């Protein structure tokens, strides 16, 4: 999994696996989930991430619990 932040668009993106998106669904709360041709999720985008305090671009640390 990769995590990217687009500062210009203020979008936090979790890339679950490399594949071309075939479909995307906009969920309530500013979340977009992209799916491949077989219907498996490939990415999750969180819109307005810093404005919603989901990500701080000045302190770009993300903790992943295992």
- Can you give the pLDDT of all 66 residues of the chain as single tens digits? 899 989 899 999 999 999 999 999 999 999 999 999 999 999 999 999 989 888 777 777 776 667
Within 8 A by CB and 6+ apart from 28, the residues are: none
Total structural domains in the chain?
A: 1
Residue with tokens 């619990």: 65
| Domain extent for 16 | 1-66
CB 11 within 8 A of CB 46: yes
pTM greater than 0.85 (yes/no): no
């Amino acid at each position: 999994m990769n995590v990217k932040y687009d500062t210009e668009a203020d979008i936090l993106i979790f890339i679950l696996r490399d594949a071309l998106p075939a479909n995307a669904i906009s969920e309530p709360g500013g979340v977009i989930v992209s799916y491949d041709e077989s219907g498996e999720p490939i990415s999750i985008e969180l819109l307005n991430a810093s404005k919603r305090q989901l990500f701080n671009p000045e302190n770009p640390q993300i903790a992943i619990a295992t």
